[in-house]
Amino acid sequence: MGVENWPVGPDGQPEKAVLLDCEADFAAFGGITLSKLEAFGIPVFTNRPDLGEMSFLYGGSSITGIQFFVPESRLQEAKELLAPAEDAE
């Protein structure tokens, strides 16, 4: 799920993308985060800022981490989904 399922506003334009305050600094965490958002139907796209994309393409990992962008209307849902579980005590 990605930009092809991105919600559109009443004017037919894609909804604003907002940065989810959750950066993955290693590939496994990034994959888990991406999979979890997609599993719950939240459209997402990623960015590896600065030299991160180049290091990912050539070395398989990003030196700058991964940023996640979600539709503005789904931001709160995404934050709640990725929040650490409360202790049951």
Establish if 48 belongs to a structural domain.
yes
- pTM attached to this predicted model: 0.71
Establish if 18 belongs to a structural domain.
yes
Establish if 61 belongs to a structural domain.
yes
**Per-residue tens of pLDDT for the chain, all 89 residues:** 456 788 998 898 999 999 887 755 555 677 788 889 999 999 998 887 655 444 444 444 444 577 889 999 999 999 999 887 776 56
The interaxial angle of helices 27-39 and 75-82, nearest 10 deg, is 120
Establish if 88 belongs to a structural domain.
no
Establish if 43 belongs to a structural domain.
yes
Establish if 38 belongs to a structural domain.
yes
Q: What is the span of the domain harbouring residue 44?
A: 13-72
Count up the domains in the chain and report the number: 1
Establish if 77 belongs to a structural domain.
no
User: What's the number of CA atoms in the CB half-sphere (13 Å) around residue 49?
Assistant: 9
Indicate the length of the chain as a whole number: 89
Establish if 89 belongs to a structural domain.
no
